[in-house]
Structure 1
């Protein structure tokens, strides 16, 4: 019989391409993962991996095993959920959540507080991961739930074993010093309003940088970008120091204090946030409890 842990290890190696990366994801050493694969090959009598440059690829036998893995994992999860339902269906145990950083701040942190108050036997373990990595973790069984955002308006592709649910729409606002001339306007800001001002913005390749570029898509001149900073708290410290504006998603925004204000845009940049989990966990009381607790913090909904 194939050990479930070995099956999970082989699936991770197949997805990530090296023993070292699979070991990092699973929390083992590369040597331990290698030994698992070797034991599997001895038991089957055929190789399941082959060298490919510095990485590895599946042999036809290995591919056949990995193709069958989702059905095995789903069957095991259904067994576990059946046991929980017999036990009364109360949310208990551990839910492992993979999420991007601003969802942790604006959605998960408030949820953890609510869950501790209403479901003391339920524990949430959070790992920060980008959307694609988070979905892989759930698909591979190393996480139970993922929070992901869309990419440039398009949802992240979902593996067939997963399902998703929209939990929030994040919005970007312009943050400025209270004494800034734009702070005096009592209407949403437009592109012409923003022309000629200096900025701190997220680095290229991020969703927030794409938002920023769209603000100036029709502008005749390039925007005056003074700073490229990934951390939003650091962006706000530069705004507080004076002279620059920042485009900040509400999920990422800490309390602004007395010196800063946020201003909405007429063409609001948005991104959809979804929760994703394995279809076989649809009836999990623990997963459902976490989903029910995912309400944004006040800063994520107010301007």
Structure 2
């Protein structure tokens, strides 16, 4: 009979391309993963991996095993969830959550205290991961729940073994010093309003930089970008100097100090945020408790005042 650990190891190697990366994800050594693969090959009687440059690829037999793996993991998940349900559906144990950084700050962090009070036997372990990595972690079984966002309007591809639920729409506002001329405009800002002003923005390649480029696309002159800073708190410290303004997602925005003010945009950039988990874990009391508590955190984040 195929060992579950060996099946999980093969699936991780298939997704990541090397024994070393699979070992890092699974928390093993590369030698331990190699031994699991060898035991699997002994159990099925045929090779499941073949060398490919510095990495490895699946053999046809290995691909057949990986293709069947989701059904195995889903069946095991259903067994575990049935056992949890016997205990009156009380959330307990460890819930492993993978999420992008601003979701950790704006959604998960405000949730933990309430969740701890409601579910004292549940512990939440959070890992910061980009959406693609977070979904892979849930699909591979190294995480139970993922919080992901669409990238420039395109959602991350969802593996067939997962299901998802929309939990929030995040939007960007322009933040400035209270002494800045734009602070006097008590209305949503337009791209024309933003022309000729200096900026601090997130670096190219980030979602927030894509938001910024789209926001100023109609401005005739090239925007005056003074600083490229990835950390939003650092952006705000530069905004406080009065020389620059910044476009910051609401979830990523710390509470503003008295010398700063935010202004909404007439056409704000937005991103949709989803919670994703394995279909076989639909009945998980821990996942359902987390989803329920996210609602209150989202309401708190969207009603945060300057």
TM range (shorter): over 0.9
Taking the aligned partners of 1:167 and 1:35, their CA distance within structure 2 comes to 41
Q: Which runs of 5+ in 1 are unaligned?
A: none
Partner of 2:267: 267
Partner of 1:296: 298
Deviations 1:170-229 (A, max 9, x none): 010001111101001111111111000110101111111111011111111110011111
Deviations 1:40-59 (A, max 9, x none): 11232211100001110001
Partner of 1:222: 222
- Mark the CA change 1:171 to 1:301 in structure 2 (over 3 Å): closer, same or farther: farther
Q: Residues 169-248 of structure 1 correspond to what in structure 2 (within 5 A)?
A: 169-248=169-248
Q: Which runs of 5+ in 2 are unaligned?
A: none
Taking the aligned partners of 2:300 and 2:87, their CA distance within structure 1 comes to 36
1:298 Cα deviation (Å)? 3.2
Q: Residues 104-183 of structure 1 correspond to what in structure 2 (within 5 A)?
A: 104-183=104-183
Partner of 1:255: 255
Secondary structure, in 3 states, of the residue corresponding to 2:261? strand
Report the number of matched residues: 303
Secondary structure, in 3 states, of the residue corresponding to 1:276? strand
Taking the aligned partners of 2:219 and 2:172, their CA distance within structure 1 comes to 19
Taking the aligned partners of 1:29 and 1:297, their CA distance within structure 2 comes to 43
CA contact (8 A) 2:179 2:242 kept: no
1:87 Cα deviation (Å)? 1.5
Taking the aligned partners of 1:130 and 1:190, their CA distance within structure 2 comes to 31
For the aligned residues, what is the CA RMSD? 1.1
Scaled by the length of structure 1, the TM-score of the pair is 0.98
Secondary structure, in 3 states, of the residue corresponding to 1:241? coil
1:39 Cα deviation (Å)? 1.7
